Each structure stands twice: as structure tokens, then as C-alpha cells.
Amino acid sequence: MRDQLDNILSQSPVDAARRDTRPALRRRFYDRASVAAIAHDYAVELDGKPVHTPARRLLAAPTRPLAEAIAAEWEAQREAIDPGKMPLTRLANAIIDGVADKPAPVAAEIEKYLASDLLFYRADAPRGLVERQATRWDPILTWARQTLGAEFRLGEGVVHVAQAEAALAAACAAIPGDPWRLGAVHVATTLTGSALIALALLRGRLSADAAWQAAHVDEDWNMEQWGRDELAMARRAFRFAEFKAAALILGSLPG
């Protein structure tokens, strides 16, 4: 199960740079991508024919806006179909093929992140970083306490901080059960290193941009001190596209 979700993140900018050594991308074979209502879902179609996932399931979303966003990725392809530029389609495939039948292992992965969430572990110096972590992270912890009923303990450095069972249980109760939200929250969690950031995104407490900034406090601080690494920034941009796909799914589903 985790392998299927991890495939969402398997293409990096380095992979893209190696495309010349791989088989050519498939040429675009259709004129138009569209959406058709089927039962309770909305299927993506190419020239009126349904699209299927790698597991040969129907590529269909639970809302029309979400299906239209997936179809827009197909419509945006030019002479060749580049999966690396279709993060929403790849995430939808992973949810349909890898989450729908077996959601429990996916939820369990999110629970593991909650037990050692990024937001719990603080720097003790320099002062600017300490203050920035507090500015970005403390409001999320306050939200978790006031809204989820989960009060967590903080520590300095990387030494594990054991959390109260009651706090973990309260936060775990907020993990969604339906496959689409669950898959999106899982991706947001793994990309940010924080299940709390992902849950705050799910509940509308954080925008996608604010959530991404909160997840990169340390990285941004280090870049300010030592300069930017262009390869690292390219990889981060690729991952942000994956994150925005997860955020789009969460924003497209009714509460």
C-alpha cells in the first residue's frame, strides 16, 4: 500500500533530466479531454472514451470540479503525455488503486507521523530560528488543542518526546476515513513531515501556501544563511506541485 502512494513522489527533477535515456514519452493520441457523469462519480474521458488507472479502474472523481481539474491536466498535454507534469492525475490513480480498498494501512502511516510530528521538535538556537518556529508552528498547536482536543508536548533537538495517549487519540480521530481525503492527507503529511499541518490543511485552518511555508521553516532559514541550492529548489518545486494536488483534492470535496 505504501509503495503505491510512494510512487506519487517517485519522479524528481533528476528523473526528468534523465528522460533522454528512457523510452520516449507517449504521443498525445486524443483531441479533447472532458468529464462525464456516471452514477455518483464523474469520469475523465478522452474523445468520449473513459480513462483507466494503471490497475485498469475507471479514472473518476467524486465531484465534478475535481474531475474537471484532472481532465485539465490531460488537456494541457501537448505533443507528448508527460506524467511528471500531471500530479493530480497520478495522485488520483494512487487513491483509486491504492487507498480505496485498503485505507487502514494509509491511516496508520499518518498516525505514526503524529507520534513524532515535525512541530514537536524545536531548535534551541539561534534565536531567530527559535522565534520563527514559534511563529509558524505554535498557532497550529493551539488549533490542535482548541479544535481537536489534542495537547502535545514539545522538546528541543531530535530526542524523541513521548506524547500522551489522549492527545494522540484525539488527533487520530481527525484523520479522514474516505479514500480521497485520506490519500490527500497522507501525501500532505509525507511531503511536509507533519500530520498536524496536513490536518490543519484538511480542516481549512491553513492555506496550501501557509502549510508549505510552515513545513519549510528550517530549510528556509538555512537558505537565508548559506544560500540557495538550485537542484534542491527544483526538487522542492516538484514536490510543491504534488502538495498542491493534494490541497486541491481537499478543497474540492464537501466538508
Run of H or E including 50:
strand 49-50
Task: List the CATH number of the domain containing 127.
Answer: 1.10.3580.10
Based on the fold, state whether residues 29 and 146 are members of the same structural domain.
Answer: no
Based on the fold, state whether residues 139 and 22 are members of the same structural domain.
Answer: no
Domain boundary among 65, 99, 133: 99
What is the extent of the structural domain holding 17?
A: 2-99
Stated pTM of the model: 0.89
Task: List the CATH number of the domain containing 7.
Answer: 3.30.2180.10
pLDDT surpassing 90 at residue 125? yes
| Rounded CA separation 143/33 (Å) | 41
- Choice between 252 and 1, residue whose per-residue pLDDT is larger: 252
196's grid cell:
498536524
Number of domains in the chain: 2
Based on the fold, state whether residues 124 and 248 are members of the same structural domain.
Answer: yes
Over the chain, what is the mean pLDDT?
91
Please write the tens of the pLDDT for every residue from 88-118.
Answer: 999 999 999 999 999 999 999 999 999 999 9
**Residue 1 pLDDT level (bands cut at 50, 70, 90):** very low
